[in-house]
Chains A and B, each alone.
Chain A
């Protein structure tokens, strides 16, 4: 295989990593906004968040992506392709993440809120100082699963001509004619990235557990598509 083809794969890898990173960051924003909004006292806020989470969990990320890339320009909005990819992926993963956030916040014992009330914290202080620091620890393991889901979903963008790892793999396949080896290489490539991400999440998990003075962490609520250790 020529150097040019290897460089293509490297470019593709960078695009895939970019999509995963930016998708995760924006996805976290959606997840926290929608997850906390679902717990709001305001019915309208709750309703909007519910519509978002139920809606986007039901929509295939690919169709959302097609819509953003091919339909939205018809309405006069042309998105940067990479941004369209990040947006589609993060809207999808954020909807699952919102359930993780909501579940984790609800998993903090009511007694913690009562203790915070007894010390006369404001509602926002109770959330910020007491509930969220504990909830975040419970969020890390399911967020780790979602991160791997996100990585795998990035391959969809090759269908809208974003030049990610899968897209460049197709080019390599066309150039070399070796379908089996190319796709085997892609599988290994995604597998290795997933493995690295999982390791990183384990580190974060350990840090999170330490923030509660624990040496191991109990896993939080599992919501959304599950990738268990055994299945991977």
Chain B
């Protein structure tokens, strides 16, 4: 048995005339922390959105936990997956978004308990206990009754992280989770994520421009350019001795900016 949890096999994606993913293949092992870097428009976010079933590939196969993500077996043939199959596959994965996307009609505690109750079938008390523990971990034990609109961006993002972890996912997808935040608020979110990386046995795919964070938590960094991975290495190697000129150029521009 392989320990590959995620496999992209020759995945293509175009939006109109733009090639977003170009014959892309890569794998992620269970428990691995992988950071995706590269210029905007290079396809990083699309990869996370595909794993979350929010975007379908044009061609190629994505395999998650041994099952094709967008295909299901009907008899001997593989057909396009229906909602039922997608729901089964989504049990493995959850995602934290750049804009937090908390539910504004629910208080903090209910944002975190709603899916465990309605999707996982937990009793309300059990879901609340789980949620309190997670909200305590992200430093928001005092905000259980607040509405998202009453929180800072950093606080909202920490709730979003707690909400995602409450689903006990195998794979946590982090899509530029600090890009909408001031440096100070971004730092508090990154601290929480360092904590998560230390304490949770979860596979993480992280799109970020926070290079120090990437260096601290990842096992491997993938450098994207124009829908392809042009370099893949452990963080120390990729950041200190990048092999590709395009990677050096990109890292210089990111460092200049910060």
Contact = CB atoms under 8 A, between A and B. Distances in A.
Interface of A: 111-112, 114-123, 125, 129-130, 133-134, 137, 211-214
Nearest to A136: B105
Contacts of B150: 213
Contact of A114 (B97, B119, B164, B167): B97
A137 B149 CA distance: 15
B103 A130 contact: yes
Contacts of A119: 94, 114-115, 119, 163-164, 167
A214 B104 CA distance: 9
B105 A211 contact: yes
B54 interface: yes
B198 to A, nearest CB: 23
A212 B149 contact: yes
Contact of B115 (A111, A114, A120, A211): A120
B147 A129 contact: no
A111 B95 CA distance: 12
Contacts of B95: 118
B80 interface: no
B167 A120 contact: yes
Nearest to B104: A212
14 contacts: A111-B97, A115-B103, A116-B103, A117-B53, A117-B90, A118-B90, A120-B90, A130-B105, A133-B105, A134-B104, A137-B105, A211-B105, A212-B149, A213-B149
Contacts of A114: 52, 54, 97, 101
Given A111-B99, A214-B149, A118 B104 contact: no
Nearest to A117: B54
A115 B118 contact: no
Q: Counting chain B CB atoms within 10 Å of each CB, which of A120, A130, A134, A213 scores highest? A: A120
B87 A112 contact: no
A143 to B, nearest CB: 18
A212 B147 CA distance: 7
B125 interface: no
Contacts of B248: none
Contacts of B163: 119
A112 B103 contact: yes
Q: Which 6 A-B pairs have the closest CB atoms?
A: A213-B147, A115-B101, A119-B115, A133-B105, A118-B95, A120-B90
Nearest to B99: A111
B91 interface: yes
B50 interface: no
Nearest to A130: B103
A214 to B, nearest CB: 6
A212 B94 contact: no
Interface in B104-136: 104-105, 107, 114-115, 118-119
Given A121-B115, A130-B105, 9 more contacts: A117-B54, A118-B54, A118-B95, A118-B164, A120-B119, A121-B118, A129-B103, A212-B105, A213-B150
B78 interface: no
A186 B173 CA distance: 64
A112 B102 CA distance: 8
Nearest to B84: A122
B146 A125 contact: no
B114 A129 contact: yes
B148 interface: yes
Contact of B118 (A111, A125, A134, A212): A125
A111 B148 CA distance: 15
Contact of A112 (B101, B118, B173): B101
